[in-house]
């Protein structure tokens, strides 16, 4: 493991018991500085991970040297890495890439081989030793999963073909990362036979835990989360506890914390509650990640960070260009169109923050010194910063180079026709009004996505022929999963004005929106914001009641005729529902 949690916890508890927290001020300084630098990063369009690394550089030996790596920082750093892999595991929904799984596996395997070879050649040519070159090559093969997923999600491109290819490749890369971290936890890398036995043991143990993960996702987790889904605190705690069950299990088997966290997230990814759980856990994950990436910067002295700055800049340029060409070739070889090949490879050109994870572990184990970690850190900062702009402007860049890609066109090349929600209907909430409206929506739009946070309706949704997402519509990942920006029609049965306002702010100009309001004032506001029709149930009910009273006192025969008709209609509905 990157840090030995078992040795750190008792000493930390001892400090807590004595009431002495000498590192509390250091920890406060880390958080405050990270917040300020994150704000600057947002203004300049940079990923927050870069801001966290700079936090460590500013507070550590490189600049101010006012914060050291205390035991609390070490412990929180280890948890940060664990929760990062837990969150990544929860994004690995197999159904999302099932249609293109074969080409993704081919791309990922060859990408790992070719990019490792490229990084090895570049590092060796720059004068590093064989062991240093090997660690550098192993560390720089990964794509920046959190950054790529976040940027593509913000651009609503995760559901596109290039997005799904990239996510699929990242999934396989992350599995490789977990294995690599476990291998580097060994005491020595000098014995190939020992390494082979270690890898075999790790794969065997991971397979066993993976089977437990699969069986849990199929038989245990759906009922478990259904039981606690209506209690927000219990829902969150059960999710966290599930991660620690796997962490404890893998540590008992002498595997790393990261393996358990990743497999725990992978099992949760296959249940319908994942999107909501991801949003609940993300804040605590972000918190721990601040400390983890800050701790990377705290490990570096100025001379270590800049020891190989020329080599780092040369390698950054070589790897970004080389990674792009390798992935472009591999995607093109799978007979995808030049557009898909270009966009998919442009998104994956950077050196990942996981190079720092691998590098930090290698330093801890004594395989390399801190100057190599500085080299990896400088490469990660440079390439991640540049790739942020490449991803944000990927399609604009493609339009400029499109004429030069014409020679890659071929009648044999065509993109897989993925089922992406487009011009579909999105329904927020579920009640009797929605139940009656769904058949009409399905008949007209075909694809209907229902977002509902009431766990009591789970069985109804899972047996229906529309897509169901459990969660709070206020969460961005829930709206992205429902394809809100691409919807042709939205029907909201909630009277929460903030949710309806979010809908009206995010939908396209051509999207028709029906919403529900609690008062005449709310209804007027929704109309002003662009709603096409507002369901005002209280006003409709009051009008109907006044109408019935008028009939009762002035025309009893007509009143009882209406009542008989209503009773007959209710019996028909009840019979249909029971059936």
What b/e sequence results for 275-300 when a residue is b if at least 16 CB atoms lie within 10 Å of its CB, and e otherwise? Answer: bbbbbbbbeebbebbbbbbbbbbbbb
Joined tokens for residue 91: 């994004």
User: In terms of pTM, does the model score above 0.85?
Assistant: no
- The per-residue pLDDT for 571 is 66
| Residue 155, SS3 per DSSP | coil
| Residue 308, SS3 per DSSP | coil
CATH classification code of 425-578: 3.40.50.720
- Cα–Cα distance measured from residue 460 to residue 466, given in angstroms and rounded to the nearest whole number: 11
- The per-residue pLDDT for 17 is 41
- With residue 491 as reference, give the H or E element that holds it: strand 489-492
Distances (CA, A) of 365 to 273, 481, 519: 38, 41, 64
Which residues, given as ranges, of the chain have pLDDT below 70? 1-24, 69-74, 92, 94-99, 159, 182, 185-195, 198, 202, 206, 254-256, 413, 415-422, 537-545, 548, 566-567, 569-579
- The per-residue pLDDT for 3 is 40
* Strand-by-strand arrangement of the 512-517 sheet: 467-470, 448-452, 425-428, 489-492, 512-517, 533-536
- The per-residue pLDDT for 5 is 38
- The per-residue pLDDT for 256 is 67
The domain ranges of the chain are 5-405, 425-578
- The per-residue pLDDT for 72 is 64
Per DSSP, 412 falls in state T
In CATH, which of 3.40.1010.10, 1.20.1530.20, 1.10.3470.10, 3.40.930.10 is domain 5-405?
1.20.1530.20
At 489-535, the pLDDT tens digits run 999 988 888 888 999 988 888 888 988 888 878 888 888 888 888 88
- The per-residue pLDDT for 543 is 65
């Amino acid at each position: 493991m990157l840090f030995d949690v078992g040795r750190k916890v008792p000493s930390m508890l001892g400090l807590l018991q004595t009431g002495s927290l000498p590192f509390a001020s250091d920890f406060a300084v880390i958080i405050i500085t990270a917040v300020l630098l994150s704000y600057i990063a947002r203004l300049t369009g940079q990923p927050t991970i870069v801001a966290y690394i700079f936090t460590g550089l500013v507070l550590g030996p490189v600049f101010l040297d006012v914060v050291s790596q205390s035991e609390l920082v070490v412990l929180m750093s280890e948890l940060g890495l664990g929760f990062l892999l837990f969150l990544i595991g929860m994004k690995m929904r197999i159904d999302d890439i099932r249609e293109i799984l074969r080409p993704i596996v081919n791309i990922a395997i060859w990408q790992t081989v070719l990019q490792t070879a490229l990084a090895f050649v570049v590092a060796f040519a720059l004068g590093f030793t064989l062991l240093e070159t090997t660690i550098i090559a192993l560390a720089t093969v990964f794509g920046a999963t959190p950054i790529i997923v976040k940027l593509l999600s913000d651009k609503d491109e995760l559901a596109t073909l290039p997005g799904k290819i990239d996510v699929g490749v990242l999934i396989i890369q992350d599995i490789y990362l977990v294995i690599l971290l476990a291998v580097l936890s060994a005491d020595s890398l000098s014995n190939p036979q020992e390494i082979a036995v270690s890898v075999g043991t790790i794969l065997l143990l991971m397979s066993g835990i993976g089977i437990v993960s699969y069986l849990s996702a199929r038989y245990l987790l759906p009922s478990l989360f259904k039981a606690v889904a209506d209690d927000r605190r219990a829902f969150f705690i059960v999710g966290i506890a599930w991660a620690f069950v796997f962490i404890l299990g893998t540590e008992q088997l002498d595997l790393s914390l990261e393996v358990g966290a990743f497999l725990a997230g992978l099992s949760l990814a296959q249940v319908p509650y994942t999107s909501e759980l991801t949003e609940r856990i993300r804040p605590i994950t972000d918190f721990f990640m601040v400390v983890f990436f800050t701790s990377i910067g705290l490990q570096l002295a100025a001379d270590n960070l800049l020891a190989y700055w020329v080599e780092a800049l040369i390698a950054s340029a070589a790897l970004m260009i080389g990674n792009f060409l390798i992935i472009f070739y591999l995607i093109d070889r799978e007979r995808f169109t030049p557009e898909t090949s270009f966009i998919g490879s442009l998104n994956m050109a950077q050196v990942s923050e996981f190079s720092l994870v691998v590098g930090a572990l290698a330093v801890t184990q004594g395989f390399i010194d801190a100057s190599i970690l500085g080299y990896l850190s400088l490469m990660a900062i440079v390439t991640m910063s540049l790739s942020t702009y490449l991803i944000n402007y990927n399609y604009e860049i493609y339009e400029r180079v499109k004429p030069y890609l014409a020679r890659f066109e071929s009648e044999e090349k065509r993109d897989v026709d993925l089922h992406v929600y487009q011009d579909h209907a999105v329904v927020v909430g579920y009640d009797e009004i929605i139940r009656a409206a769904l058949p009409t929506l399905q008949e007209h739009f075909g694809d209907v996505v229902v977002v509902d946070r009431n766990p009591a309706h789970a069985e109804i949704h899972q047996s229906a022929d529309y897509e169901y997402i459990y969660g709070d519509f206020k969460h961005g990942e829930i709206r992205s999963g429902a394809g809100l920006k691409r919807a042709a029609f939205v029907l909201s049965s909630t009277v929460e004005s903030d949710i309806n306002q979010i809908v009206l702010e995010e939908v396209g100009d051509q999207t028709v929106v029906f919403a529900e309001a609690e008062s005449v004032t709310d209804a007027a506001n929704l109309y002003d914001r662009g709603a096409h029709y507002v369901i005002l149930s209280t006003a409709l009910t009051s009008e109907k009641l006044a109408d019935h009273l008028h009939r009762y006192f002035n025309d009893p025969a007509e009143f009882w005729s209406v009542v008989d008709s209503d009773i007959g209609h209710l019996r028909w509905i009840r019979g249909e529902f029971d059936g």
